[in-house]
Structure 1
Amino acid sequence: MPNAFILPPLPDLPILAALPELMSALAASSRVVLEAPPGAGKTTVVPLALLAAEWRNPEDKILVLEPRQLAVRGAAARLAQLLGEPVGRTIGYRVRLDSKVSADTRVEVITEGILTRMIQDDPALEGVAAVVFDEFHERSLNADLGLALALDAQAVLRDDLRILIMSATLEAQRLGQWLPAPVVSSAGFLFPIETHYLDPRRAASLPNKPADRLAELVPAQVRAALNTHAEGDILVFLPGVGDLQRSARKLEDTLPDHVDLHLLHGELPLETQDAALRPARAGRRKVILATSIAETSLTIEGVRVVIDGGFARVPRFVPRTGFTTLETVPVARAAADQRRGRAGRLAPGTCYRLWTEAEHHNLPAHRPPEIQTADLSSLALELALWGAAEPTSLRWLDVPPAAAFGQARELLLRLGALAELRVGSEELRVETDASTKSTLNSSLLTLNSAKPTPHGRQLAALGLPPRLGHLVVRGQELGHGAAAASLAALLAERDLLRWASPTDTRPAPPDLRLRLEALASGRPPLPGLALHHATLQRARDVARNLTGRLSRTASLPTHQFAHPPVGLLTALAYPDRLAQRETHDRLRLVTGQRVSLNTTDVDPQATFFAVAHLAGTASAPRATLAAPLGQDELELAFAEQITTTDEVRYDPTTQRVTGRRVRRLGALLLDEKVIGQPDAKLVARALLDYLQEAGASKLNWTPTARQLQQRLEFLRQQFPANDAAEPWPAFDDETLTHELADWLGPHLTGLKTLDQVQRLDLYEPLLARLPGGWNQRQELDRLAPAALEVPSGSHITLDYSDPAAPVLAVKLQELFGLTETPTVAGGRVPLLLHLLSPGGRPAQVTRDLRSFWEKGYFDVRKDLKGRYPKHPWPDKPMEHIPTKLTKKRLGQ
């Protein structure tokens, strides 16, 4: 059936020159990459051109994905305007909680997350001719997921499905080689843009903190730009909503009467966003303070000046802690170019960059894709629903990081959204709602995979992050569906509360119950607070939508909990952030990590809390939203995770081992009782734990035991593992402390006090560590003897405290007649001789005894003979009889 769609007259945009090549590529290939810089007109022209493609069935749709709701509505309005129709006819759109489509709609502009739901419900995308990924260079998590699913469906079920990836700054050749796909390039068009950087001397005087830096720079630069440029509107890029509001407060009373001030971010009501986008009325100018929402997809008519603050707010997920925090980071060069381009869309323009030119060269080239920095719990659930056991079973431009994906899967298992597969001898199959999915991915199952549960399917259907979906579903089962929906809506949006004073930038009180109260009443819950009314309305819309979709069934009666149990509901969403008070300003999480919270701002009497939001850093997090919960609520909701164990520890203060029976939920202590007679093994373990913390120095190191340790260390250094029949293991204090349980543990059974431990002789336990048993003990005595018999007949203990130079300290008279220096280690190491005077003090230190007798001895004799006349000082020491006696006792 021929395609009857006739293209309307299209605006004269650079993309028109690339259309023939693009349409030819799409006719020959099911995957195409279109590289088109800002201002080329790709969003405006390409969807309409695809409607006229011969390969499109007249009834089939074109799906156009945009990264933001504002861009979705703007693109749909522009496309419908070109057709001379209202939105909802040939051109429609879908975003969360809002859509304008009809039976006549053939181009649907949608947010990227909508595609995931569509393809999960219909893997073959029946009735869809093409999927267009617009602004793909932003690399959102939903865009990467949608592309992976679309490529999988195309490869198996829909080889006729066209996938077009449109991007302004992405490395198109890399993408084309990866797909693989032909790359079509379009010229762009920008009017000349004059670019100004911050003076280095001015930059040196600014605060380091981005918020303070921007609060000082932006209002002054806006006023200067208004004075310098007689016409055109000004678009200002700032990282976050708070920055927009701070700048707005400084500007609103100082702008000329003919200048209107607008804010533009994704949380504003549609009419407020539209007002910021509309051209200024005749005789008036606009200043638009915007977040990165205005970087791409939108042409804001009238803008001739861009002021770029140079920062962006990005989420950072830390798998080690499971926390996601928002960070303000320097903008990437690619994003800075996008922002700069806004000044030259419709006329020559000017861009003021609030950083130095030298700083610009140090900016990162691109933002990292969201898939590398985000919480992947939603992605992990979607992949499980798709039947992909591991991310690597699909195609990714950047594979999800293993650590973050593993953390996400663990969370989903904990929430009951996934169930681990038990692998037996029978063949396993992935059960799905659509039989085609089993065909798609039956070969992708691995031994470590998990499959979605019915509960997981419920969570995905709600379109919320898994945590919040779990809160809604379980809250309904507890009989508090409306409260759960309201709380989930609040947690999905920015904070509802703020301080009424424009100069008060403190965060609002962290008590979540205040937010629920404000949501219900529409009034500030405390004096001095005010509401973000746009957030209030949006949260009410989301809550109303969720409540309408919940089932009416409940497994527990409402009266079992306080009404509403805000802490318990919060804990359902964040089971890894259950917390117990340690001090008035510090909590211990169920994971063991500490977070700061002024508990008097929430409930000064509560012991347990549920934390929803965290700020700060991974090493020093602070709770910004929390609610108290009772121990009865906690124990009922998490009964299966509570453990009862006997804990025995050594108390160095009382010098006794004490025992207690404790009930815990992770690191949270629920209850404890003293144990009168702890198990002997637990007592031994407690003593070991103390000794490992205090160190091996707390043990009974007799001189004999210490010398044995030093002899063994000496042999380890002299005979490395490759130079000995049996290896000589390490016997240093650090190793002995680390392996205390292995060599000392068996000797602690039955001991109850540290005093008893400190009476243990360490000699035999140390020898027992030798792997060669009795034979190696004999080698020890041969190679590193504890004592050496000297010519006088005395047995002198050797000192191995310096393993590089073992010492024989002996009176020199006892070595008369000995000409060669004694050795150890089988002759490898000569002993360091400390030749002592009759008074026991070193008279000479040498490793060459013969040389001493021939030269040094006579100097020593000269110094000592008069002091010790009763001792022999012969003229020929190498021929004299060795002795430890005086001349009188020798009969001289």
Structure 2
Amino acid sequence: MRRTGELAGLPIGEALPRVRAALAECGAAVVHAPPGTGKTTLIPLALAGLLGDGEPARTVLVAEPRRMAARSAARRMAWLLGEEPGGSVGFTVRGERRAGPRTRVEVVTTGVLLQRLQRDQELAGVDVVLMDECHERHLDADTALAFLLDVRATLRPDLRLIAASATQDSAAWARLLSAPVVHGSGTGHPVETRYAPPPSGVRPAHGTWVDPALLRHVAATVREALETVPEGDVLCFLPGVGEIDRVGALLGGAGDPGAEVLSLHGRAPAAAQDAVLRGGGGGRRRVILSTAVAESSLTVPGVRVVIDSGLAREPRMDHARGLGSLATVRVSRAGADQRAGRAGREAPGVAFRCWPRGEDAGRPREASPEITVADLTAFALQAACWGDPGAAGLALLDVPPRGAMTAAHDTLRAVGAVDEAGRATARGGRMARLGLHPRLARALLDGAAAVGPQLAAEIVALLSEEPPREYGDDAAEALRRARRRRGGDAYGARWAAEVRRLRALLGGGAGQEGGGRAGGGPAGGARSAPRPRSLGDDEAVGLVIALAQPERIGRARGGASYLMLAGTGAELGGDSALRGTPWLAVAVADRPVGAASARVRLAAALDERTALEAAGALHELREEVRWDAAQGAEGDVVAREVESLGAVRLAVRALPRPAPERLRAAALEGLRRSGPGLLRWTEGAVSLRRRLGFLHRALGEPWPDVSDEALLARAGEWLGAVRSRADLAATDVAAMLTGLLPWASGEAARLAELAPERIEVPSGSRVRIDYEQYPPVLAVKVQEMFGARETPRIADGRVAVRVHLLSPAGRPAAVTSDLGSFWQNGYPAVRAELRGRYPKHPWPEDPVSAEATRHTKARQAARGRGPSGS
């Protein structure tokens, strides 16, 4: 019996005429309405002509982001019509379908919708598609809407599209759909917001870790709500199943006789989910601990109180390490408002926020779109099968990041799903029809050939959804536990259902729900599966995991530490039974914040032969002739044959006869990396380099630049037939520099004239010039310069040397570049200071007219010369 009163009471009813008008005029509409107004239920029923109001009969497809929401929406609509699901209203989710020939409204997950679109682009027989909860920005939903817009533009202009959202992001969707926004008013009940900040000292969440102190505070807030709000059930939002279990244990351990503690999340059995969504029996109050599945779409009957932990989980992908994970983040402001709204669906309610009021402004406005942060391998395969490998022609709100798409295409090429141009292969089309991540699809197809269809289906089903932590980190043991518990716990039941689905797909050519078309590329591209051989369960599990994640095969490097083929380190837990295994196939790993290595969550033992079979594309035998900085104290040339599997070296052997030109290139690489200090710098070579450097600065061309940078840039011209670090150290640098002189112009012959090694001073001494500085320095005793009226000049007289005048003991007394000025202005002070200290040496009042000498006054007299002054 149709529940006419409930249908008439849904607030979105007043917006139905505007929705119909928008569809008639534009073929599309964006519906924005608060939660609980009926947009998910009333609009599909009305457009399908199921309300008896004269609307023509149509087939309406409603796409929900989650299986739980799809089942719940279908059951709600069927209930409003007085039916059971499978009649006028049905649903299809992975592993379950309730729909028949009478079905006019079918609710599906966005994943199922994608598979239907790949199999039948025209969506024959469907008149209207309603994409619900678009604001959640799930990747499958964004992709499906982009495909639908493409279908409307090219194949089905008559197909009607509705994007429904509960948050204020409608303008962007309106631009994407070229459609008006229809606002639905809500008669939602008022919700009082109370802030319940945790005590000081609670640490921020990181990775999947949440401070237990915050969870204790959330449990305390639940108890406070039960005491201070006298009526209604309590809906408590937590980031994940682990936190639900811990808060449930805290509440159960303390004993709350007035309330029943329940869990609501995607891993819960369908029967348990349905029981929560049906509501309580009017007796004890309920405390429902939920993940984000209850943020939108779902109405949980009886809820008057919401407790918001303030945390959410979002996918993250580390493309450099090939590690995907979930990150615990602060819930966005839009998400917090959605959660709070759950308290006012049926009556006035209260929302407790477990953070300070002032923190609201610092929270992100919306959650991160999944396309910007997640692994895009499955998306890239969908786009390739659609015929748009780069997704450049798809109508998406956010452009997929280039790096993520590059990594995705690399993976797809490695598993044979796309060709070098990115077009889907026949194998890629079959993989897309399996409804699995492409890596798991490869593992299922190639694993079935290697270990048999049944065992391959069992292992891939285990990988499709990470087993509970109590199953342990040994995947082979987890498989045995799943077999034993296939009917005994929620995970075992889901695992068994997935095994049946995968086994049917392998046996029946992948033609069931979740399939797609193979087009978009040539038939080639498949990779060879490992050769069939007799394997036990443990070996088979390792092989199939390795087929799914070849880059995550790891070899032990001591203790619990492994090096994976992708180059990332991985660590087993301290109590892992897999410790000491020489090789691992890692199925699940994450990288804690601040950790250098990944943390292994699920893996299987492997042997080297199986690792080579599964990761054959990464097996390489190469010759290395290069500079190795780790050889010796300063590096050296190495010539070796290296056998490797990805980043793991299997064997290293000396290369018997490396080509001389490769040895020289390696030595040249080392010279350029380490600098000219590797060469043999004799005193003469250092002196010549300094003189040439001076002339290049003073005169320019044709005198060569002999700086480190210039020498290294031209090293290929002057470096001889070197083969090693020892050959570099033996290089005659002086001869090399001599070869750089400007011989062709004839200027080389003037080197001694322009940059003499020594200058003759008035005393007759030939004093060395120091070219390390600019201008060059002439260090000479004061007495040897008597009589010199001008400063000596070099480089054709263009540069005056800087004269360092020394005391008789060789200590600096004065520095000048103008001797004439020094004799007149500086010398009197030097004479006054030093004549008493060195009385045996001449200190004439007029140094310009005095005779230069290297000797004391006594020796000067003995040589037949009178003293020139005191």
User: Which bin holds the TM-score, normalised by the shorter protein?
Assistant: 0.7 to 0.9
Match status 1:670 vs 2:650:
yes
Match status 1:789 vs 2:759:
yes
Q: One-letter code of the match for 2:93?
A: V
Superposition pairs of residues 196-275 of structure 1, within 5 angstroms: 196-199=194-197, 202-209=198-205, 210-275=210-275
Moved more, 266-275 or 557-566: 557-566
Contact 1:57 1:129 in 2 (8 A): no
Whole-Å separation in 2 of the counterparts to 1:189 and 1:821: 99
Q: One-letter code of the match for 2:59?
A: K
Larger of the two Rg values belongs to structure: 2
| Counterpart in the other structure of 1:433 | none
Superposition CA RMSD, Å:
3.8
Please give the secondary structure, in 2, of the residue aligned with 1:451.
Answer: coil
Contact 1:791 1:816 in 2 (8 A): no
| Counterpart in the other structure of 2:563 | 588
Match status 1:458 vs 2:430:
yes
Please give the secondary structure, in 2, of the residue aligned with 1:391.
Answer: coil
Whole-Å separation in 1 of the counterparts to 2:746 and 2:395: 58
Q: One-letter code of the match for 1:583?
A: G
Query: Normalized against structure 1, the TM-score is what?
Result: 0.84
Superposition pairs of residues 418-817 of structure 1, within 5 angstroms: 418-420=418-420, 449-498=421-470, 509-522=472-485, 533-551=489-507, 558-559=532-533, 561-563=535-537, 564-597=539-572, 601-617=576-592, 619-647=596-624, 651-652=631-632, 659-675=639-655, 678-681=658-661, 683-684=663-664, 697-706=677-686, 731-732=707-708, 743=715, 747=719, 749-752=721-724, 754-763=725-734, 785=755, 787=757, 789=759, 791-792=761-762, 797-799=768-770, 801=772, 807-817=777-787
Deviation at 1:652, TM superposition (A): 1.5
| Counterpart in the other structure of 2:408 | 408
Residue 459 and residue 211 in structure 1: after superposition, are their counterparts in 2 closer, same or farther (change >3 A)? farther
Contact 1:196 1:351 in 2 (8 A): yes
Please give the secondary structure, in 1, of the residue aligned with 2:779.
Answer: strand
Deviations along 1:27-86, one digit per CA (max 9) or x if unpaired, are 100222111122322112111122239999966421111111111011111111122222
Deviation at 1:472, TM superposition (A): 0.2
Whole-Å separation in 2 of the counterparts to 1:613 and 1:717: 62
Residue 532 and residue 826 in structure 1: after superposition, are their counterparts in 2 closer, same or farther (change >3 A)? farther
Whole-Å separation in 1 of the counterparts to 2:95 and 2:334: 32
Please give the secondary structure, in 2, of the residue aligned with 1:595.
Answer: strand
Deviation at 1:8, TM superposition (A): 9.3
Whole-Å separation in 2 of the counterparts to 1:343 and 1:391: 40
Residue 690 and residue 255 in structure 1: after superposition, are their counterparts in 2 closer, same or farther (change >3 A)? same
Residue 661 and residue 82 in structure 1: after superposition, are their counterparts in 2 closer, same or farther (change >3 A)? same
Contact 1:584 1:599 in 2 (8 A): no
Moved more, 825-834 or 205-214: 825-834
Whole-Å separation in 2 of the counterparts to 1:768 and 1:595: 54
Whole-Å separation in 2 of the counterparts to 1:615 and 1:103: 46
Whole-Å separation in 2 of the counterparts to 1:641 and 1:360: 49
Residue 88 and residue 786 in structure 1: after superposition, are their counterparts in 2 closer, same or farther (change >3 A)? farther
Contact 1:688 1:741 in 2 (8 A): no
Deviation at 1:653, TM superposition (A): 7.4
Unaligned runs of 5+ in 2: 510-527, 866-870
Please give the secondary structure, in 1, of the residue aligned with 2:113.
Answer: helix
Whole-Å separation in 1 of the counterparts to 2:504 and 2:157: 39
Q: One-letter code of the match for 2:825?
A: K
Q: One-letter code of the match for 1:264?
A: L
Whole-Å separation in 1 of the counterparts to 2:704 and 2:122: 66
| Counterpart in the other structure of 2:45 | 48
Deviation at 1:404, TM superposition (A): 0.3
| Counterpart in the other structure of 2:279 | 279
Contact 2:322 2:566 in 1 (8 A): no
| Counterpart in the other structure of 1:15 | 12
Contact 1:664 1:671 in 2 (8 A): yes
Q: One-letter code of the match for 1:155?
A: A
| Counterpart in the other structure of 1:39 | 36
Match status 1:842 vs 2:812:
yes
Query: Normalized against structure 2, the TM-score is what?
Result: 0.86
Q: RCO greater where, 1 or 2, for CA within 8 Å and sep 6 or more?
A: 2
Contact 1:258 1:283 in 2 (8 A): no
Whole-Å separation in 2 of the counterparts to 1:580 and 1:777: 64
Residue 58 and residue 194 in structure 1: after superposition, are their counterparts in 2 closer, same or farther (change >3 A)? closer
Whole-Å separation in 1 of the counterparts to 2:491 and 2:743: 75
Deviation at 1:259, TM superposition (A): 1.4
Whole-Å separation in 2 of the counterparts to 1:825 and 1:371: 68
Deviation at 1:484, TM superposition (A): 2.0
Contact 1:325 1:617 in 2 (8 A): no
Unaligned runs of 5+ in 1: 421-448, 499-507, 524-530
Q: One-letter code of the match for 2:115?
A: R
Whole-Å separation in 2 of the counterparts to 1:728 and 1:9: 93
| Counterpart in the other structure of 1:398 | 398
Q: One-letter code of the match for 2:479?
A: L
Moved more, 131-140 or 826-835: 826-835
Deviation at 1:359, TM superposition (A): 1.4
Whole-Å separation in 2 of the counterparts to 1:67 and 1:768: 75
Please give the secondary structure, in 1, of the residue aligned with 2:7.
Answer: coil
Contact 1:131 1:164 in 2 (8 A): yes
| Counterpart in the other structure of 1:148 | 146
Deviation at 1:366, TM superposition (A): 0.9
Moved more, 342-351 or 785-794: 785-794
| Counterpart in the other structure of 1:331 | 331
Deviations along 1:204-224, one digit per CA (max 9) or x if unpaired, are 243444332332211111111
| Counterpart in the other structure of 2:522 | none
Deviation at 1:415, TM superposition (A): 0.9
Please give the secondary structure, in 1, of the residue aligned with 2:127.
Answer: strand
Q: One-letter code of the match for 1:549?
A: L
Deviation at 1:477, TM superposition (A): 1.7
Contact 1:643 1:665 in 2 (8 A): yes
Contact 1:475 1:481 in 2 (8 A): yes
Q: One-letter code of the match for 1:321?
A: R
Deviation at 1:683, TM superposition (A): 4.7
Contact 1:602 1:626 in 2 (8 A): no
| Counterpart in the other structure of 1:70 | 68
Residue 44 and residue 637 in structure 1: after superposition, are their counterparts in 2 closer, same or farther (change >3 A)? closer
Deviations along 1:691-745, one digit per CA (max 9) or x if unpaired, are 67766544434445456666787799999xxxx779987935xx58xx9696279
Whole-Å separation in 2 of the counterparts to 1:715 and 1:625: 69
Deviation at 1:260, TM superposition (A): 0.9
Residue 869 and residue 196 in structure 1: after superposition, are their counterparts in 2 closer, same or farther (change >3 A)? same
Deviation at 1:656, TM superposition (A): 8.2
Residue 173 and residue 662 in structure 1: after superposition, are their counterparts in 2 closer, same or farther (change >3 A)? closer
Deviation at 1:589, TM superposition (A): 2.0
Q: One-letter code of the match for 1:559?
A: R
Contact 1:77 1:87 in 2 (8 A): yes
Deviations along 1:149-200, one digit per CA (max 9) or x if unpaired, are 111111111111111111111421233234322111122232121111134x
Q: One-letter code of the match for 2:442?
A: H
Whole-Å separation in 2 of the counterparts to 1:217 and 1:883: 94
Residue 681 and residue 186 in structure 1: after superposition, are their counterparts in 2 closer, same or farther (change >3 A)? same
Deviations along 1:270-301, one digit per CA (max 9) or x if unpaired, are 11111222222123110000001110001111
Match status 1:368 vs 2:342:
no
| Counterpart in the other structure of 2:319 | 319
Deviation at 1:822, TM superposition (A): 6.0
How many pairs does the alignment contain?
831
| Counterpart in the other structure of 1:307 | 307
Whole-Å separation in 1 of the counterparts to 2:746 and 2:313: 65
Moved more, 251-260 or 154-163: 251-260
Contact 1:38 1:189 in 2 (8 A): no
Deviation at 1:885, TM superposition (A): 6.2
| Counterpart in the other structure of 1:432 | none
Deviation at 1:676, TM superposition (A): 5.2
| Counterpart in the other structure of 1:434 | none
